[in-house]
Amino acid sequence: MGSSRLISRRRQDQGSKWARISIAVLSTIGAIDTGSITFHRWGWIGSLSCPGGSNGCDKVLNSPWGTFLSFSGTDIPLSFIGLFAYFSILIMAILPLLPGLSSNKIDLSRKTWWGLLSFSSAMSSFSIVLLWLMFFKINAFCFFCLLSGFLSIALLLLALFGGGWDDIGKVIFRIVLLSLVFLLGGLIWSSAIDPARQDQLTTGPGTPPLVQSSSTPSQVAFAKYLTESGVVQYSAYWCPHCHEQKEMFGKEAASKLRIVECASDGMNNERELCESKGIEGYPTWEINGRLYSGIKQLKELAELTGYQFYSD
C-alpha cells in the first residue's frame, strides 16, 4: 500500500519549479546571445563587442558554417536556429508556471519537461560539433559561440535533474539516442559544406585558383551591393590579376560577386558575352554601363559605384 502511494506521488511530480525558473533565465540569456548575433548579421544592430577580440567572432560567424540557408540574396544565419531553439525552451519552461492556461497542469508539465529534455539534448550534441569546428577547422575563438555551447549543456543538466523523472535510466537512454542522431547529423552537415571538400569538387581544368583570404562583414556587404547594383567583373581563370582582385574581397565576399568567365576554355564560360562587350583585358569591371580595366582597390570601387558604407 505504501509503495503504491509512493509511485502515485512520483507520477504526480511536476518536477522542480526552481529548475524551470533557472532554465527560463538561461534560455533568455541564450536568446539574447543568439539574437544579437542574428541581428548583427542582418545589419539591424551595429558591431558586437566580443570578449577576446571581435576578429575571432567575425571569422566564425562569417565562415561557411555560420550560414544555415541563403535565398533571394538573404542569409539565414545559423544563430537564427539557435534563437528559435532558445525561445522555444523559454516558452516550454514558463508555460506550466502561468495561471489559468491548462486544467491539467500535471500533464502539461510532463510534456514540457520532455520537450525541454529533447531540445536541450539536441542543442548540446550539435554544440559539440560547432565548438569542434570553431577550434579545429576555423581556428578562431568566439565568446558568444562558446557561451551558447555552455548554456546548452547547462539546460540539459537542469532538465535531466530537475524533471522529477520516474525512471532516470530510461531517460538517459533516450537522451543518448537523440544526442547521437543530432551528433551524426551535425557531422554530416559540417562535412557537406566544408570548403576543403567543396574545393576538391570544384577544382579542375578551366577553373580559377581558390581564394584563400577571409572576408570581413563590410567586404561581404559590399560584394552583395555590387551584385545587386548590376556590377560585373569580367575575368579569366588563368589571369593572376583577376585572382589578386578576388583576394582583396576574400573568399566569402568573392563568392557573392557576379564574375563572368571570358576564357574560351574556362569552365562555364560566357565568351560570347565578353566579346559582345568588347572586353580586351582582365579583370574588367562593368559599372553603370561603363568599362573599367585593371585591378581596383575596394575604396575605388566604392567611389565608382556610389557605395558610402565601405570601411577597411
Count Cα neighbours of 33 within 13 Å in the Cβ-side half-sphere.
25
| CA–CA distance, 236 with 72 (Å, rounded to integer) | 27
pLDDT given at position 9: 41
Query: What 3-state DSSP class applies to 75?
Result: strand
294, burial (CB in 10 Å: exposed 0-12, middle 13-18, buried 19+)? exposed
- Domains in the chain (CATH in brackets) are 2-196 (1.20.1440.130), 204-305 (3.40.30.10)
Provide mean pLDDT across the span 170-193.
92
Q: Which of 42-51, 92-101, 168-177, 255-264 has the lowest mean pLDDT?
A: 42-51
More confident residue, 266 or 30: 30
- The cell numbers describing 18, all together, are 526552481
- Taking residue 57's Cβ as centre, other Cβ atoms within 10 Å add up to 23
* Confidence class for position 54, pLDDT limits 50, 70, 90: low
For 124-140, b/e burial (b = at least 16 CB within 10 A) is bbbbbbbbebbeeebeb
H or E element at residue 248: helix 240-249
H or E element at residue 16: none
Is residue 42 within 8 Å of 224, Cβ to Cβ?
no
Residue with cell 534560455: 27
| CA–CA distance, 275 with 280 (Å, rounded to integer) | 8
Average pLDDT, the chain: 86
User: Is pLDDT at 129 greater than 60 in this prediction?
Assistant: yes
User: Is pLDDT at 213 greater than 70 in this prediction?
Assistant: yes
| CA–CA distance, 271 with 268 (Å, rounded to integer) | 9
pLDDT given at position 225: 94
Is residue 119 within 8 Å of 96, Cβ to Cβ?
no
pLDDT given at position 105: 80
Q: Which of 40-49, 198-207, 228-237, 265-274 has the lowest mean pLDDT?
A: 198-207
Provide mean pLDDT across the span 89-105.
84
* Confidence class for position 72, pLDDT limits 50, 70, 90: low
Residue with cell 537542469: 158
Q: How far apart are the first and last CA of the chain?
A: 76
* Confidence class for position 71, pLDDT limits 50, 70, 90: low
pTM of the model: 0.64
Q: Which stretches of the chain are assigned E, i.e. beta strand? A: 67-71, 74-77, 232-235, 259-261, 284-287, 290-293
Is residue 120 within 8 Å of 152, Cβ to Cβ?
yes
pLDDT given at position 2: 44
The rounded percent of the chain whose pLDDT value lies above 90 is 57
pLDDT tens, 261-286?
999 888 889 999 999 999 988 999 99
